[in-house]
Structure 1
Amino acid sequence: TIWVIFTRLTKSAIFTPIRKTDPMDKLARIYLKEVVTRHGIPVSIISDRDLRFASNFWRSPQNALGTRLDMSIAYHPETDGQSERTIQNLEDMLRACAIYFGKGWVNHLPLVEFLYNNSYYATIKAVPFEALYGRKCRSPVCWTEVGEAHILGPELIQETTEKIVQIKQRMQAARDRQKSYADLKRKPMEFQDGDKVMLKVSPWKGVVHFEKRGKLNPRYVSPFKVLERIRDVAYKLDLLKELSRVHNTFHVSNLK
């Protein structure tokens, strides 16, 4: 699996391969190496509800360092407005690399991270790399112009350039597709305390499925009673006892 880490100010990202079984102490070392050494100690961190990030082992040092920890809303990974789209783009780019260039996705991850951080984003009107470091990044596409192809070899230059072009195309296609889908599906919904709502079964990465697994299961379950509105886009539900281990706050996009 991939640990995706964002900087909210510059939109720069770090894509780190990990295993789902990796203990928290290993993730803490990765955090120090990939985040603290590059950016310093964060003021706040928004993370998903993985038990490792909710543990005292993770919370205690963050509290000592003065970092505020916030958890994302259950089954809504786009809580910070950025994660969901980027993760889908990441999967699409890695899938394209594996199809066109072979080998495992881990081999392509550094180049995908490089391309992500050197693509223009309208929200900051800049490239994340330039926003982070205050200068333009020298791209492998320009190696032939400065004579480095003679040092690195024409095969490496050609292979890297082909990958960059392919990944850029897939990234743009994914952005266009997701924007069209979001524009089509986005609609305001409001509920009152006491209303009964249907809850969408989360397909997100297979992390949580209600009842039986399978593609033919109902997309929505129950209805459940609305207990409380949380901020503008989330609601707390009165879940069944058998779902007591499930966090009972959900984004409005998962309700109807």
Structure 2
Amino acid sequence: MDFVSGLPLTPTKKDSVWVAIDRLTKSTHFVRIRTDYSLQKLAKLYVSKIVRLHGCWEEHLPMVEFGYNNSFRSSIQMAPYEALYGRKCCSPLCVIEVSERKLIGPVSTGQKSYADLKHKDIEFNVGDFVFLKVSPWNNVLRFG
């Protein structure tokens, strides 16, 4: 947190900006304040302007625990959930991925068989004339 002070007085009698930066995501919040605000007033502003955007931390604790217990740990070479229960955790996201595979599977199989029907293996001999499609390439390669 930081304060930017010494700014011109606004019509609402504010002359400073309170800058609060989230260390993890680097998202920033700016709160208009006056330099003579007390700590109690700043604490109330913090709750009303910043905490309200994210809610109470207690509400997010189950998801934090879920993520923490299902993330890989190099010390045990697996996730804590996997070490405890002997299998990987099946989250709602896993169910969605499986459902998508079931829906997409037959379609992609049909597309593959159609492409295989139209595919022709062509062999060229040295000296044969061929059409070469060259697309423009603007990158510069440097060796050495």
Higher RCO, 1 or 2 (CA under 8 Å, sep at least 6)? Answer: 1
More strand per residue: 1 or 2?
A: 1
TM-score surpassing 0.5? no
Whichever of the two has the greater Rg, that structure is 2
